[in-house]
């Protein structure tokens, strides 16, 4: 089994899937040397092998090509689950001559159509395209080339709720409202929109704290975020924490997930928030309406409408007890849809066995 991690959330997802499958099959985790995924592997001392690869170009890398071929031969790999897109050009040539079951896992929305002769050749090695949601499945089918033997599947992510402290009771007059946003600090992830919405609460004298968790990946956007916080005079109420490993502990003690992202493939932070019964407020775009169709209670604002997301937040605060009662029902539904055994079984059905 072989994984190749992309960037950001894909790296975390590669580790999560390797952890999920390692008790049932041999895992070899491939990643870029000294990347986040490599550091996490070394820190956590996983129960499977990791093969870091040093390469400079993500478009085509001879060093990656030969290193991957060596790994495939050494471990007698039969299945490859690939997280990402850019490195597939190199991997196609790495795979030549091997009898492999190649699975490309789609976790983000792609905008560039890959239909030219080069992409036709490169994607001809793929047996399965696995998407995390209906939105991503539709996106993958519209973007990547496929022949009659290529299959498209949906395998939704899973999440195991930890034994973090139970969520607190609905905030009252003497409690500070706890609002959380989990996502990398980058354009389109919603931090600026969240701060602007919370400024409306401040105008009304509502006591709150907004905690932002996620790695800072775009310095220009980070400076914009800081500027908005300062202009709204919210320095004492908005905290930027960066990446934290135990975000579940903070979710368990929060009231609201405010997540005005411009679009997600299948949001891990939303899935986690549903497990803890948070009141979830998002824009109505990409995958978020699918959660409502599944039966989850969410407050969806018109896509990219700042006034509407602010109004949805104010509505949630003014009706917090009722909204938390409705959202508490999400916890049982989340256990059904995002069950780890279900995800593992669905992946195992795709894998080639000896």
Other CB atoms within a 10 A radius of the CB of residue 47 amount to: 10
Output phi, psi for 82, to 5 deg. -110, 125
What is the pLDDT averaged over residues 11-17? 87
pTM of the predicted model as reported, rounded to 2 decimal places = 0.87
Which has the closest alpha carbon to 196: 312, 113, 32?
Answer: 312
One fold for 2-158+339-348 and 177-337: yes
Q: Are 146 and 123 in contact (CB under 8 A)?
A: yes
* Confidence grade of residue 25 (pLDDT, cut at 50, 70, 90): very high
* C-alpha of 252 from chain center: 19
Output phi, psi for 193, to 5 deg. -60, -35
Architecture of domain 2-158+339-348: 3-Layer(aba) Sandwich (3.40)
Q: Which residues contact 144 (CB under 8 A, 6 or more apart)?
A: 104, 114, 119, 123, 126, 129
Q: What is the pLDDT of residue 171?
A: 43
Give per-residue pLDDT as tens, 59-101. Answer: 788 889 999 999 999 999 999 999 977 788 899 999 999 999 9
Q: What is the pLDDT of residue 32?
A: 86
Q: Characterise 20 by phi-psi region: left (phi > 0), alpha (psi -120 to 50), beta (else).
A: alpha
Distance CA 178, CA 88 (A): 42
Helix (H, G, I), strand (E, B) or coil at 170: coil
Helix (H, G, I), strand (E, B) or coil at 302: coil
Which has the closest alpha carbon to 280: 302, 265, 260?
Answer: 260
User: Is residue 170 scored above 60 in pLDDT?
Assistant: no
Beta bridge pairs of residue 208: 177
Distance CA 78, CA 73 (A): 10
- 8-22, 93-107, 134-148, 329-343: least confidently modelled range: 8-22
Distance CA 214, CA 221 (A): 13
Beta bridge pairs of residue 216: 185
User: Is residue 263 scored above 90 in pLDDT?
Assistant: no
* 37 or 169, greater pLDDT: 37
Q: What is the pLDDT of residue 105?
A: 95
What is the pLDDT averaged over residues 190-198? 98
Q: What is the DSSP letter of 148?
A: T
Q: Residue ranges of the domains in the chain? A: 2-158+339-348, 177-337
Which has the closest alpha carbon to 5: 43, 27, 38, 49?
Answer: 38
Mean pLDDT of the chain: 91
User: Is residue 8 scored above 60 in pLDDT?
Assistant: no
What is the pLDDT averaged over residues 9-24? 88
Distance CA 272, CA 214 (A): 14
Output phi, psi for 32, to 5 deg. -75, 135
* 339 or 162, greater pLDDT: 339
Q: Which CATH number fits domain 177-337: 3.30.450.20, 3.40.50.2000, 3.40.190.10, 3.30.450.40?
A: 3.40.50.2000
Give per-residue pLDDT as tens, 43-70. Answer: 888 889 999 998 777 778 888 999 999 9
Give per-residue pLDDT as tens, 309-352. Answer: 999 999 999 999 999 999 999 999 999 999 999 999 999 999 98
Helix (H, G, I), strand (E, B) or coil at 32: strand
User: Is residue 254 scored above 70 in pLDDT?
Assistant: yes
* Confidence grade of residue 197 (pLDDT, cut at 50, 70, 90): very high
> What percent of the chain is modeled with pLDDT above 70?
94
What is the pLDDT averaged over residues 227-237? 97
* Confidence grade of residue 4 (pLDDT, cut at 50, 70, 90): low
Q: Are 220 and 247 in contact (CB under 8 A)?
A: no
């Amino acid at each position: 089994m072989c994984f190749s991690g992309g960037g950001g959330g894909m790296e975390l997802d590669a580790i999560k899937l390797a952890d999920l499958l390692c008790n049932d099959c041999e895992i070899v985790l491939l990643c870029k040397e000294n990347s986040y995924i490599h550091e996490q592997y070394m820190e956590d001392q996983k129960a499977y092998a990791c093969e870091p690869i040093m390469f400079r170009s993500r478009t085509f890398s001879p060093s990656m090509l030969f290193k991957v071929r060596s790994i495939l031969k050494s471990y007698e790999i039969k299945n490859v689950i690939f997280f990402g897109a850019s490195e597939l050009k190199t991997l196609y040539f790495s795979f030549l001559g091997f009898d492999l079951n190649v699975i490309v896992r789609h976790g983000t929305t792609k905008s560039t159509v890959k239909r030219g002769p080069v992409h036709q050749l490169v994607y001809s090695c793929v047996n399965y395209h696995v998407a995390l949601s209906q939105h991503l499945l539709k996106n993958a089918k519209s973007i990547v080339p496929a022949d009659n033997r290529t299959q498209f599947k949906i395998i939704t992510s899973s999440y195991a709720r930890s034994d973090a402290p139970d969520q607190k009771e609905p905030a009252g007059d003497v409690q500070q409202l706890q609002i959380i946003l989990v996502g990398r600090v980058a354009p389109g992830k919603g931090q600026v929109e969240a701060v602007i919405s919370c400024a409306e609460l401040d105008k009304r004298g509502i006591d709150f704290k907004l905690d932002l968790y996620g790695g800072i990946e775009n310095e220009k956007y980070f400076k914009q975020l800081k500027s908005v916080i300062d202009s709204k005079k919210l320095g004492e109420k908005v905290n930027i924490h960066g990446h934290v490993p135990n975000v579940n502990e903070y979710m368990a003690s929060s009231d609201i997930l405010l997540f005005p992202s411009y679009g997600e493939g299948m949001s891990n932070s939303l899935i986690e928030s549903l497990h803890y019964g948070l009141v979830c407020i998002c824009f109505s775009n990409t995958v978020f309406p699918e959660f409502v169709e599944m039966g989850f209670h969410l407050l969806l604002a018109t896509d990219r409408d700042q006034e509407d997301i602010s109004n949805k937040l104010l509505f949630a605060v003014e009706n917090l007890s009722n909204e938390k009662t409705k959202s508490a029902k999400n916890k049982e539904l989340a256990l059904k849809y995002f069950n780890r055994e279900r995800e593992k079984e669905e992946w195992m059905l795709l894998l080639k066995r000896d």
